[in-house]
C-alpha cells in the first residue's frame, strides 16, 4: 500500500517535492488524480477538518476520496489535514484514512508534544502515518503576518519526543494567500532539513511563486500543501463559463471546465515539483 512516510522519504532523498492538494468536493479529487496521472507523479489528496465541517460529516467525503484514490494509476495517499479534534482523527483511522495531520500548532509546546505523541501512538498502532506542526503557520483567519519561525533545535526535540513521521514548519508562508509573493526563509529550510530526520511540510504554499517553490524544494522542503491557488483556478473557470453568453444551468456544464482547469494546473505543478532537483 502507498504510504505518506515512504513517498515523502523517497521525495526527500530525490530532492523533489511531493504535491498535496485539498479536496472539498468530488470534482477536486478526480481533477487531482487526473493531473497526477498526466504528470506521472504521486499525489496526496487531503481533506481538512474544515472541509469535514462544511460537509457535516467525514464519512461521505472520505469514502468518495478513497474510492477515487483506489482507481488511480499513480500512488495516491488520502490524508486528513489540519485536524485539531482528536476524535475526528480516531474516526478517520477507523474509516481507512492513510495518514493524518494532527495540528497542535496553536497549543503551547508541552501540550503540542503531549497530544501529538498520543496521536502518534494511536495512529501507528493502526498503521497510519502522522504529520504534526511546530511553529504556527497562520493566515487561516485571513490575516497574513507570516512572521512565525520554527527553531531547528526545538523541532529536533519535538520530533524525538513525539515520534512524528513528517513535520510542518513555519518558514515564511501563510495560509490562504491569493497573491504568489510570499518570501520563504530558504536558509532556515536548509537548517531544518539538515537537523531533522523527517521530511518537512510547507503549509500555505499558494502564496509561493514557482521559482520560490523550486528554491524551497532544493533547500529541503518536501511535502507541498496547496489549496487556495487551486480554488482560484477552479472558481475562475466557473466564473468564465457563467459570465459568458447563455450561461448553463446544468452544473456539469460549469463543473467540467473547472475540473479540467484544476487537472491542468495540478499536472503543471507536479511536473515543476518533480523537476526541482534538476532546475
Ligand atoms: O493544509 C493546507 C495548506 O496549507 C493549504 O494552504 O490554501 O494557503 O495553499 P493554502
Ligand atoms: Zn495548512
Q: What is the CATH number of the domain that holds 141?
A: 3.20.20.70
**CA atoms within 13 A of residue 173's CA, in its CB half-sphere:** 29
d(CA 98, CA 86): 16
* 144 phi, psi to nearest 5 deg: -100, 100
pLDDT at residue 277 tops 70: no
Mean pLDDT of 53-79: 98
Mean pLDDT of 25-54: 98
Question: Can you give the residue range of the structural domain that contains 15?
Answer: 4-278
d(CA 115, CA 101): 12
d(CA 179, CA 171): 17
Mean pLDDT of 174-185: 96
Neighbours of 136 (CB within 10 A): 18
111-167: pLDDT as tens digits: 999 999 999 999 999 999 999 999 888 777 766 767 899 999 999 999 999 999 999
The response to whether residue 198 sits with its C-beta less than 6 Å from ligand 1 reads no
Ligand 1 atom 6: residue of nearest CA: 204
Neighbours of 5 (CB within 10 A): 18
The response to whether residue 35 sits with its C-beta less than 6 Å from ligand 1 reads no
Check residue 1 and give its pLDDT: 61
Q: How many domains is the chain built from? A: 1
Q: Which residue has the cell 532546475?
A: 279
d(CA 178, CA 269): 16
Ligand 1 pocket test target in 18, 228, 269 with most atoms within 8 Å of CB: 228
The response to whether residue 227 sits with its C-beta less than 6 Å from ligand 1 reads yes
d(CA 169, CA 199): 10
Check residue 37 and give its pLDDT: 98
Question: How confident is the prediction for the chain on average, in pLDDT?
Answer: 96
Provide the percentage of residues in the chain whose pLDDT is more than 90: 93
Amino acid at each position: 500500500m502507498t504510504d505518506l512516510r515512504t513517498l515523502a522519504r523517497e521525495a526527500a532523498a530525490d530532492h523533489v517535492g511531493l504535491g498535496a492538494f485539498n479536496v472539498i468536493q468530488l470534482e477536486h479529487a478526480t481533477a487531482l488524480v487526473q493531473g497526477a496521472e498526466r504528470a506521472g507523479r504521486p499525489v496526496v489528496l487531503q481533506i481538512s477538518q474544515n472541509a469535514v465541517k462544511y460537509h457535516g460529516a467525514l464519512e461521505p467525503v472520505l469514502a468518495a476520496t478513497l474510492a477515487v484514490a483506489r482507481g488511480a494509476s499513480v500512488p495516491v495517499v488520502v490524508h486528513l489535514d489540519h485536524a485539531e479534534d482528536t476524535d475526528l482523527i480516531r474516526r478517520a483511522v477507523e474509516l481507512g484514512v492513510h495518514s493524518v495531520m494532527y495540528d497542535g500548532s496553536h497549543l503551547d509546546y508541552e501540550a503540542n508534544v503531549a497530544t501529538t505523541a498520543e496521536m502518534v501512538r494511536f495512529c501507528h498502532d493502526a498503521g497510519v502515518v502522522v504529520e504534526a506542526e511546530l511553529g504556527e503557520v497562520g493566515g487561516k483567519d485571513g490575516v497574513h503576518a507570516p512572521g512565525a519561525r520554527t527553531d531547528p533545535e526545538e523541532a529536533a526535540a519535538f520530533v524525538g519526543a513525539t515520534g512524528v513521521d513528517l513535520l510542518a514548519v513555519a518558514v515564511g508562508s501563510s495560509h490562504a494567500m491569493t497573491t504568489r509573493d510570499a518570501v520563504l526563509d530558504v536558509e532556515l529550510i536548509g537548517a531544518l532539513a539538515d537537523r531533522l530526520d523527517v521530511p518537512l511540510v510547507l503549509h500555505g504554499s499558494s502564496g509561493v511563486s514557482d521559482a520560490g517553490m523550486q528554491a524551497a524544494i532544493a533547500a529541503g522542503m518536501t511535502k507541498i500543501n496547496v489549496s487556495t491557488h487551486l480554488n482560484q483556478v477552479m472558481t475562475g473557470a466557473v466564473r468564465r463559463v457563467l459570465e459568458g453568453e447563455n450561461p448553463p444551468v446544468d452544473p456539469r456544464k460549469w463543473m467540467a471546465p473547472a475540473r479540467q482547469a484544476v487537472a491542468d494546473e495540478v499536472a503543471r505543478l507536479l511536473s515543476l515539483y518533480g523537476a526541482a532537483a534538476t532546475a
